[in-house]
Amino acid sequence: MSDERSKNTVHWFRKGLRLHDNPSLLAGLEDAATFRCIFIIDPWFAGASNVGINKWRFLLQCLEDLDRSLRKLNSRLFVIRGQPADALPKLFKEWGTTNLTFEEDPEPFGRVRDQNIMAMCKGMNISVISCISHTLYKLEDIVERNGGRPPLTYHQFQRVVSSMEPPPQAKQTVDVDIVKHAHTPISDDHDEIYGVPTLEELGFDTEGLRPPVWQGGESEALARLERHLERKAWVASFGHPKMTPQSLMASQTGLSPYLRFGCLSTRLFHYQLTDLYKKVKKATPPLSLHGQLLWREFFYCAATNNPNFDKMVGNPICVQIPWDKNPEALAKWSNGQTGFPWIDAVMTQLREEGWIHHLARHAVACFLTRGDLWISWEEGMKVFEELLLDADWSVNAGSWMWHSCSSFFQQFFHCYCPVRFGRKADPNGDFIRKYLPILRNYPNQHIHEPWTAPESVQKAAKCIVSKDYPLPIVNHRNISRINMERMKQVYQQLSRYRGPGIVASAPDRKGTLLVLNPHVGSKENKNFSKFNLLREIHNDQENKIMEAVKEEIDYFENQFMNEPERAGTSANKKQIYSLSQKN
């Protein structure tokens, strides 16, 4: 350009709601005469989409925080109402836009949208810059390094990533010095036209809405990161923290919603954690130090070229399982009315606060799908999409396929008992009492199984099971065995043909991961017919794996699956017996 001040930039925020480590924004600001930062909200989509009020509130808080940060740079955030394909051309003409920048979207539907916008910009003679900053790596590089296909086990993913160059360092934060030559035209009616809307303006009823447990925004994300890294004792010991009832509560160092909305850079988190580890341990950190980020990256990579990643039908990596359709049971699970206090408390926390511990996610997902209700993982994914702050398309769908044994890891003989798991995680029932106050007067002995309490105890607790709190929706001991048999039949069918590339795994008792691959026909797998686990192994490993699988099955059946039946009131026993006959 002849005039270095003729560059008029628009930066389009989607995810990546931050000023730190934002390479596309930095590129747009270079030599810019004017710049405007925009975020687009479709008001109709806000009211019709499957996104709950807590998630929308968190997003609006992120936008408000971003607007405050831009004010310090003598700029503002422009929140646009409409759809990108309709709104952007009009704004570009009005503002004389010459350059558009945005963060590269790693997900299939986002890529299609961006390709259409880039084609439109080409027709308007507008330059477009998009940069990778939502993921640590360029996902195409991982796929290419793995022979042109995404890794479908986490351990294979780790092997591929460990052979690659480290991810790029985080870019500098946009500050006054960077934007000093770029001007943002702001009108007096900016707030009326481009201000961040309220929940009420988006059509939400806020009456009875509880105060937020999670405060959205980059400022809060960076404060949490600082607190997270202050836990030097954890970094020094570098072990998995012990599960305690307090672990089930939202933490002031939790980061997952901030990574999902891009308020916190994955690269900043990665390198600050790495630097701290080196400082404390005087050594290069293991790859597993970044497990939270790498699991996220793993699911993004698996989904990046698969537009049907969130579906069972048409999804090449998903086992086709004949799930039941049971809207009534699904509603009871979603609303915390299954009659299993541990499951109901977790789902109540999710609905009220928008977050649950990762082990709690395992428990409720197993209960909905292969463990008890035999309802499709797609239905659970939709509920999490609505309620879970950190649920995004790739990670949410991938996690549900994993938990339901529909892809990635088919350890279908691992089944969480909703009573035993709850007792291990919350032995005194404090978590249950917090989220299910109707049960607060139950003694520890019965709070995980209130239907076993004598009538006198139920009356003293002012909560009669089947009247004030529901009976268990299923007999777990019976139905879990039935469902395990159903899973075995599914995998027996898979063993009769060369499968779609889904990988099963079974860890041995020492924690070694043994990879079992369905690309081998049933003849080679005949010794695994009992549980129909498919494998591709050397002959000299066969006995070791058979032994490991048997040990693992026995261990999980004894430790986690079935809680011994307990006596309750005669009326409750009769109703539970009836349930067992139905299921």
Q: Per the annotation, where are the binding residues for FAD?
A: 292-299, 390-392
DSSP-based three-state secondary structure for 515: strand
Strands 504-507 and 513-516: antiparallel
- Left, alpha or beta for 224 (phi > 0: left; psi -120 to 50: alpha)? alpha
**For residue 548, what are the β-bridge partners?**
none
Give the pair of three-digit tokens for residue 467: 């009247």
Rounded CA separation 55/423 (Å): 30
Distance of alpha carbon 280 from its chain centroid, rounded? 30
- How would DSSP label each residue in 384-421? HHHH-TT--HHHHHHHHHHHTTSSS---TT----TTHH
Four-point Cα dihedral 475, 477, 479, 485, nearest 10: -170
Rounded CA separation 435/256 (Å): 22
Rounded CA separation 171/535 (Å): 44
11: Cβ contacts below 8 Å, ≥ 6 apart: 24, 25, 28, 35, 36, 37, 38, 100, 101, 102
Rounded CA separation 37/8 (Å): 11
Look at the chain and count its residues: 583
Write out the binding residues: 292-299, 390-392
What's the sign of the alpha-carbon dihedral 514, 519, 521, 524?
A: negative
Give the count of alpha carbons within 13 A of 467, CB side only: 8
